[in-house]
Amino acid sequence: MSRFLAVDWGTTNRRAYLVEDGAVVATTRDDRGILAVEPGGFDAEVASLRARYSDVPIVLAGMVGSNRGWIDAGYVAAPATIDALAAKAVRPIDGVAIVPGVSRSVAGRGDVMRGEEVQLLGAAAAGMVPPDSLLCQPGTHCKWAWMKDGALADFVTAMTGELFALLKAHALIGQEMTGAVADDTAFGEGVADAGRDDLLGALFGVRAASVLGLRVAGTAASYVSGLLIGTDVRAHVRPGETVYLLADEALGALYARAIGMVGASTQRIDSHAAFVAGVTRIEELLG
């Protein structure tokens, strides 16, 4: 029986999956992301995990392999395959492997990811998406990934969610962004206005709309979200395409709406199942 622990170890959160013969038999999620671990404390954290799960082999992915994590596991350059990730895995101690991230550098523009690559390649390896497909992982840093023959051929990271948070907390228009974001009329207006290719002007227009009484109070947050997501989507999606979304229900619905408004379609993919599929294949390759 194949039995191991897979850990998606991010900046603020950590999710562990106990996998037996390819199936998840237990899962836990906590706030022990890398920022919660004291310098030099990763050995103890991993020892605690091993004790909890009967000393099984462990495969770690995500920010734990960054230069701010336990050990820098480096990057595999795109186009990247799941075999390449396994071949470049780093073993800080016996019985523990850390999956590297993926990098790209084209025309002087670089990009990196850690953790998402396991989901993306796992989705392709498990047949959740076609071998040639466009995948999107919305979030603080939204990932757009182009798969080719099942490999991660290229990708782009957009600071969509982070920019929304910065505007709300620190920008002049933040005082207008008091309502909750919803898939509503204001959101749709934001997506539509993104098509004018004047994001900076449209953002200041949020302030002007408030002063002049042109927008219903409490709808600015939805409108700004629509502007940002609409700009993000229009930069990467073409009419007639199918985009495979690895997202939670709320954020997935917003991206699906914006993608639909540019004439493309979406299919939702279970990101947790994709991660397990990817990390299981990596564990098999590690032997």
Among residues 259, 266, 269, 261, which one has the least CA distance to residue 242? Answer: 266
Peptide bond into 79 cis (omega under 30): yes
Structure tokens at 145: 């990934």
pLDDT tens for the chain, 287 residues: list them: 689 999 999 999 999 999 999 899 999 999 999 999 999 999 999 999 988 888 899 999 999 999 999 999 999 999 999 999 999 999 999 999 999 999 999 889 999 999 999 999 999 999 999 999 999 999 999 999 999 999 999 999 999 999 999 999 999 999 999 989 999 999 999 999 999 999 999 999 999 999 999 999 999 999 999 999 999 999 999 999 999 999 999 999 999 999 999 999 999 999 999 999 999 999 999 98
Question: Residue 118's pLDDT is what?
Answer: 97
Domains and CATH numbers, the chain: 3-128+270-286 (3.30.420.300), 160-268 (3.30.420.310)
Tokens of 96: 């523990």
How many other C-beta atoms lie within 10 A of the C-beta of residue 47? Answer: 12
Whole-model pTM: value is 0.94
Residues 6 or more apart whose Cβ sits within 8 Å of residue 91: 97, 98
Cα-only R_g, the chain:
20
pLDDT computed for residue 287 by the predictor: 83
